[in-house]
Amino acid sequence: MPPHDAATRVQTTGYLRHTWPVRLMHWINVLAFILLLMSGLQIFNAYPALNWGKSSYSGRPPILQMDARMDAQGNPMGVTRVFGHEFNTTGVLGLSAGMDGQPVQRGFPAWITLPSQQWLAMGRRWHFFFAWVLVINGFAYIAYTLASRHLARDLMPTRADWRSIGQSIKDHLLLRNAGEAARHYNILQKLTYLGVIFVLFPLVILLGWAMSPGLNALFPGWIDVFGGRQSARTIHFVVAWLLVGFVFIHLFEVVISGFWNNLRSMITGRYRTEGSEDA
């Protein structure tokens, strides 16, 4: 999260770390991603299983399935089957408290789906609206990052970055703060951001399109590069969770490297440098 080299000094104690377009697009992305994840899990719940291949009915069992059944005592239990192994996931996956507090059969629980109750039509409305928000925001970001040279200046690894990769891994493992060097993204940070921006997000969008019967007709068979529509649905699900994994690592790093300073820099743009008083 670094500054441009020609960063504007806001005060003697800080500098402008993020330009306003980057800040705005970051928060739009935060909003869209959270809503897409939660409405996506609502949509998943309508068919709480993942298949591999072109169809769901190919004679092979799903690779993942959430279900509810009776246990040996005759009590309802939630189960999750992954590659043929069954896990008791009562209360979270397969069976969880419904809107009235009584256990109901559902894939993901009400507290993580949007809307909370089982309501596919509304989940789809949220999902496709914010999918457009994400796509438009994403294109705007790419255009900005190229035009402003944010990509070339701040995100592309330099030769020095590559040489520092060993040190950077060590620093991350030891949770060592980079001090003044934190004015620039380190190599792991650059690679992670590039991976998220240019691999995971484009992939999750493309896999979403791969599930559209309309877009399937654009070039018949194009979704076979993902293994077919049901494989595309499965990978869409996995990539969404990889993005969640990124968010957790990102938040962890934000917290340990000066939470308020980082947060301020993503809201007002201003980042206080070492030695200055932290709020």
Partner 1 sequence: MPSQDNSRRRFLRRALAAGGALVLSGCDQLSQSAWFTKLLGSAEKLTFATQRLLLPRKAMAQEFTEADLSPFFRSNGTSNPDNPGYQAMAAHQFADYRLQVGGLVAQPRAYSLDELRALPSRTQITRHDCVEGWSAIGKWKGVPLSRVLEQVQPQPSARYVVFYCADPMDARGTRYYESIDMEDAWHAQTLLAYELNDAPLPIKNGAPIRVRVERQLGYKMAKYIMQIQLVERLDDIAGGQGGYWEDRGYEWYAGI
Residue numbers at the binding site for partner 1 (CB under 8 A): 34-35, 38, 43-44, 46-47, 49, 51, 54-59, 111, 114-117, 119-122, 124-126, 128-129, 131-132, 211-218, 220-221, 223, 229-230, 233, 259
In the complex, least distance from residue 261 CB atom to partner 1, rounded to whole angstroms: 13
In the complex, least distance from residue 157 CB atom to partner 1, rounded to whole angstroms: 33
Give the CA distances from residue 240 to residues 151, 192, 266, in Å, rounded to whole numbers and listed in that order. 24, 15, 23
In the complex, least distance from residue 116 CB atom to partner 1, rounded to whole angstroms: 6
In the complex, least distance from residue 275 CB atom to partner 1, rounded to whole angstroms: 17
CB-based contact 14:273 (threshold 8 Å) = yes
3-state secondary structure of 180: helix
Position 22, amino acid:
V
Task: Please provide the distance, in angstroms rounded to a whole number, between the alpha carbons at the two ends of the chain.
Answer: 19
Residue 28 or 131 with smaller CB distance to partner 1: 131
Residue 116 or 167 with smaller CB distance to partner 1: 116
Q: CA 185, 188, 194, 196: dihedral to nearest 10 degrees? A: -120
In the complex, least distance from residue 72 CB atom to partner 1, rounded to whole angstroms: 30
C-alpha closest to that of 212 among 198, 228, 229:
229
Residue 24 or 120 with smaller CB distance to partner 1: 120
In the complex, least distance from residue 221 CB atom to partner 1, rounded to whole angstroms: 5
In the complex, least distance from residue 174 CB atom to partner 1, rounded to whole angstroms: 20
Phi, psi (5° rounding) for residue 154? -105, -25
CB-based contact 19:226 (threshold 8 Å) = no
Distance CA 141, CA 126 (A): 22
Joined together, the tokens standing for residue 40 give: 């996506």
Residue 23 or 54 with smaller CB distance to partner 1: 54
C-alpha closest to that of 271 among 259, 258, 260, 261:
261
Residue 76 or 115 with smaller CB distance to partner 1: 115
Q: What angle do CA 22, 24, 27 make, to 5 degrees?
A: 105
Residue 130 or 271 with smaller CB distance to partner 1: 130
The one-character DSSP state at 225 is G
Residue 27 or 259 with smaller CB distance to partner 1: 259
For residue 95, what is the enclosing H or E element? strand 94-97
